[in-house]
Amino acid sequence: MKVTVARSSGFCFGVKNAVDTADAIAADKAETRKKVLLGEIVHNELVIKNLTGAGFEIYDKASDIPEGSLVIIRAHGVTPEEKRILSQKNCEIRDCTCPFVDKIHKIVRNASENGKNIIVTGGKGHPEVVGICAEADGTGVSVAVISTPEELETLDFPLSSAILVSQTTFSSNVFNKICDKVENKIEKNNVFDTICITTESRQKEAASLSEASDSVLVIGSSHSSNTNKLFEICKGRCVRTFLINSASEVRKLIAEGSILPDDSVGVIAGASTPEAIILEVVQEMNEDEKMTNQEQLDSEFANAVEALSQVRRGAVVKGNITSADADFVYVDVHDKSEGKISRKEFESDPDFDLDAAIADHAEVTVKVRSIKNSDQGKEIILSKNDVEAEKGRAEIEEAFNNKTPIDVAITRTVKDGLIGTYKGVDIYIHRTQIKRGEVKDLAPYVGQTLTVVVTKFDTEKGRLRISGSHRTFVADENKKKSDEIWSEIEEGKRYTGVVRSLVDFGAFVDIGGVDGLVHVTELSWSRNAKPSDILKVGDEIEVYVKSFDKETKKISLGYKKLEDDPYYNIEERIPIGAYVKGTVVRLTKFGAFVQLEPDLDALCHVSQISSQRLEKPEDVLSIGQEVTAQVTEIDTEKRRISISIKAVAPIDPEGTEAPEAPVEEAPAEEVPVAEPVVDEAPAAEEKTEE
């Protein structure tokens, strides 16, 4: 016969705490007051017999308890009215209400005070449920207890006005079905999965154990809610499932053939079953398994004790996430009271799915920040970030030693710089270490992620000081890029660059870790353009290498494009002999400059303006005057266009006679319009005309 004992068998924490408290009082010989249990402390005849034999009396109502008694409140909890009665009777209360149950009381109390109706999934009349419902007494809200999804239809108030909680020992399977039915009807933050994590894990283990067994023994009382749930789960998966209360019942099952010698037997016990009874049952079935199972159970209880002793300030412990409210996330750390973590720690971690963690009762490693004892119980403040911070500090120190860059999230500004965080650890970045040049406004960096090199990791004087530099990281990266560019650079090679600064003589452009100069003459085909007319700092532009010197580390870049040149394809656009229209833009002694297009001027020599000899062009022309002329010459190398007004329609001074054979004016439709280019007549030509 193979016997497998479920790991989660036996007393849950709440029951064990209550029984241990009662045992301690019973052992105190100096305690002379009447010792009272308000209701059976546990659904187990052996335990109750031992406690009553040690002097305890059991009362079902607080009103019946004698004045001045020492009263133990069991794990199920009681109503506020019963506590009030005990206080009026000057009784000393040892409140052993399970922390999971106590939490439900607080949820219901707060919700009812805020006008929310209450739905409790559980057993009507069960002491735990009675205590939970009583928290809403006097608030005027409705309270309903249901045990099936169908009962939701019988409620006399809308679901949207209610919260949903559960008895700690209720079936997690049924509760999930009820949750599915109220989805989108009750707000998500008003549905509280308050089933005890121990109960839920016990039920899951019961399901898997019973599926793998030939027969199953569920040890516990038929009056115990959680034991009955275990029996239902196992019975649904293994026909030969038996509810027993002692080892003597095992003998009968074996004798009558209900359990066979070759069976694989699963054993699971309810939360009210003492360890001793579990061991007796196992020993009765298989003497050879005695030590193995005893060692297993002893180990489990030893682990529980060890876990309790670990919950101290500064300790790093593991726990299971059970629930959350607007301010805190609650974690079962195997102590009488649950620990709580600020919800902000989870909200700052976008990769952590809190809803899924609560549903799965996910395990989390936490650090105990503080433990405070008060009349309301023990308050355990935990931190997930502190554990992450310890890991983060180790990683930062390693990055400092190895000069490895790390990414930090900028969270706030300080007087002279920024504060970034890496896995919960603050890193200071001075304003001079953000980038090259002066940083006047720090605010835009908040919310960004900067890659930094850790430049300081100081643990002296008991305080950790860490500094980082984004500027150093950028410089290191630029050095790598610079080396790569200088190894591959060649004339004519094109780069996409960023304008870093503008000066009178041009623009400095970063082509990837190296700055090159685009001379003002390379920015535009227009002679009079300023760098600031064409570009602005931060512009991304396409440039090409005109020349470079590896020794001096200087690069000359080109920017203007051939197709933007006003003289590009000029002989096709404005051929010799074409008629053009333009505006006089400048007058000199030797002629007039006429703008044909933006940045494209042509020279009309003084001899080509009038049929009469002119002393100077302004005798017949003025700036801004529109004229029609014929193209007589194009010199693309010297970037010069010559035109003749006289060849179309000479402009003579007033009072002079027109020539006998005037030049015929070209029809308007034959006069083409040119593209922009500007140039002046060279000095040599000026002297010739003079």
Q: What residues are annotated to the active site? A: 128
Tokens of 75: 């794990």
Residue 22 to residues 73, 405, 419: CA-CA distances in angstroms?
10, 59, 54
Q: Which amino acid is at 172?
A: S
Bridge partners of residue 340, in order along the sequence: 330, 381
Residues 6+ apart with CB under 8 A from 631: 574, 575, 576, 577, 578, 579, 580, 602, 641, 642, 643
DSSP letters, 45-99, are HHHHHHHHHTT-EEES-GGGSPTT-EEEE-TT---HHHHHHHHHTTPEEEE---H
For residues 14 and 99, give the distance between their C-alpha atoms in angstroms, rounded to a whole number. 7
Question: With contact defined as beta carbons under 8 Å apart, do 406 and 451 qualify?
Answer: yes
* CB contact set of 530 (below 8 Å; sequence gap of 6+): 504, 520
Composition of the chain by helix, strand, coil, percent to 5: 35, 30, 35
**For residues 496 and 540, is the Cβ–Cβ distance under 8 A?**
yes
- End-to-end alpha carbon distance in the chain: 128
Q: Are 303 and 295 in contact (CB under 8 A)?
A: no
Taking alpha carbons only, the member of 127, 117, 108, 181 closest to residue 150 is 181
Number of Cα atoms under 13 Å in the Cβ half of residue 183: 6
- Distance (Å, whole) CA 197 – CA 200: 5
Length of the chain: 690
DSSP structure class, residue 342: E
- Residue in this structure with the two tokens 């922390």, named with its chain if needed: 99
The two beta strands, 600-605 and 640-644, are: parallel
The letter for the amino acid at 575 is P
Strands 506-510 and 554-558, sheet pairing: unpaired
Which residues are CB-neighbours of 24 under 8 A, at least 6 positions away? none
Tokens in use for 674? 């040119």
SS (H, E, C) 88-99: HCCCEEEECCCH
Q: How far is CA 437 from CA 341, 431, 449, 500, 612, in A?
A: 42, 10, 20, 11, 65
CB atoms within 10 A of CB 566: 22
Residue 377 sits at φ, ψ, to 5 deg, of 120, -165
SS3 453: strand
Q: How far is CA 333 from CA 321, 371, 421, 529, in A?
A: 9, 13, 28, 74
Q: What sign does the CA torsion over 459, 464, 465, 470 have?
A: positive
Q: In whole angstroms, what is the distance from residue 457 CA to residue 290 CA?
A: 57
Please give the backbone phi and psi of residue 22, each rounded to the nearest 5 degrees, phi first.
Answer: -65, -40
Structure tokens at 179: 């949750």
- CA–centroid distance for 404 within its chain: 24
Q: Which amino acid is at 283?
A: Q
The DSSP symbol for 150 reads G
Amino acid at 57: E
Which residue has tokens 């239809």? 153
